[in-house]
Homo-oligomer: A and B are copies of this chain.
Amino acid sequence: MREKILDALKRKHDYVSGDLLSQRLGMSRQALWKHIQELKEAGYDIVAVPHLGYRLISSPDRLFPFEVSRDLNTGFVGKKIYYFDSLASTMNVAMKLGAEAAPEGTLVLSESQTKGKGRLGREWFSPKYKGIYLSLILKPKISPTEASIFTILAGVSISEAIKETTGLDTHIKWPNDLLVGHKKLGGILTELNAEMDEVNFVVIGAGLNVNNDKKSLPEGATSLREHKKEPINRVSLLQEILRKIESNYLLFQKKGPHPIVEKWREYNITLGKRIKVHFHKEHIEGEAVDIDIDGGLLVRRDSGVTDKVMSGDVVHCR
């Protein structure tokens, strides 16, 4: 009901008569007034003027499901949203929801994470209301070895969405770092629930620095705000990310991994570089010559031998 009230206030950029509104929604003036108070407590700035009615002045900077769903226009991505003010990690909640048979496209959002998950057990810094921290359940018919394509797909989708929403160019460092000007803007994580033969579901996770002040960021990190010099509308950006993920996922289902990998090549800054890949206590060094359709990185060593690496930390030399 609160969503219907908000919708009415948002559609009319002027005062909406309380009488008309309560009549249309089939509630008493008293009930309407109570809902308005609750919306104000949630951060909506709504003024009430006698004889004129209610008017929405501003919406809070929150990723409320109602805001995200409104005019989202996807077929299934983000149709079901679980929203939290704070969570240990959106990944764990999404993996649990997936095991409970949540439908494809189910989205977990949190305004902050106390133990945001990065790759290889690292933590993702997730301060409140500053970033976008999401986990999305997809159910592709693939084998577990093919799942890395979803890290690639998410990287491409987020880069496309950032370009479309803010005009900023992002780069992707293999396998999952989103960069702006050599500083880290975001990270992507793919987890899977699978049998040996086939994936039951994957969860794409992303952490993105959006409105962080420069001085609150860890070293080597950046935010969209730092580059745009103005606050970014997180709802619009998130909606565009969801749309891009859906369209790239449909592209993947129709044409396989190739067109996704092709797009990735455009955003990547790893290929052609001399790199070191560290994994556990080993590392290999050479030129990053190509990416395989399973997401693996092909590294040509000085000996001329080419190895495929599926994971690890890449350091770009020079």
Chain A 46-66 per-residue mask, 1 if CB under 8 angstroms from chain B, else 0: 000000000000000000000
Q: Does chain B have a CB within 8 A of A197?
A: yes
Residues of B within 8 A of A311 (CB): 143, 196-197
Chain A 81-124 per-residue mask, 1 if CB under 8 angstroms from chain B, else 0: 00000000000100110111100000000000000000111000
How long is the Cα–Cα vector from A192 to B192 in the complex, in angstroms? 8
Q: Does chain B have a CB within 8 A of A189?
A: yes
Shortest CB-to-CB span from A206 to chain B, Å, is 14
CB pair B192 A120 closer than 8 Å = no
Residues of B within 8 A of A192 (CB): 144, 192-194
A200 and B191 contact, Cβ closer than 8 Å, known pairs A92-B99, A95-B99, A99-B95 = yes
Question: Which stretch, A20-28, A145-153, A157-165, touches the partner chain B?
Answer: A145-153
- The B-contacting residues of A in range 126-143, CB under 8 angstroms, are 143
Residues of B within 8 A of A99 (CB): 92, 95-96, 98-99
Q: Does chain B have a CB within 8 A of A41?
A: no
Q: Does chain B have a CB within 8 A of A195?
A: yes
Closest Cβ neighbor of A148 among chain B residues: B196
Q: Does chain B have a CB within 8 A of A226?
A: no
How long is the Cα–Cα vector from A193 to B312 in the complex, in angstroms? 19
Residues of B within 8 A of A100 (CB): 92, 96
Closest Cβ neighbor of A195 among chain B residues: B191
Say how many copies of this protein the assembly contains.
2
How long is the Cα–Cα vector from A121 to B193 in the complex, in angstroms? 14
Q: Does chain B have a CB within 8 A of A198?
A: yes
How long is the Cα–Cα vector from A192 to B95 in the complex, in angstroms? 11
Residues of B within 8 A of A191 (CB): 193-195, 200
Pick the residue among B120, B190, B196, B312 that contacts A147 (CB under 8 A): B196
A residues with a Cβ closer than 8 A to B are 92, 95-96, 98-101, 119-121, 143-145, 147-148, 151, 175, 189-198, 200, 295, 310-312
Contact sample, A vs B, 13 pairs, CB 8 Å cutoff: A92-B101, A95-B200, A96-B96, A96-B100, A119-B196, A144-B192, A144-B194, A147-B196, A190-B196, A193-B193, A194-B194, A196-B295, A196-B310
Other contacts beyond A120-B195, A191-B194: 19, CB < 8 A: A92-B99, A96-B96, A96-B99, A96-B100, A98-B99, A99-B99, A119-B195, A120-B198, A144-B144, A144-B145, A147-B196, A148-B196, A190-B195, A190-B196, A192-B192, A192-B194, A196-B310, A197-B311, A197-B312
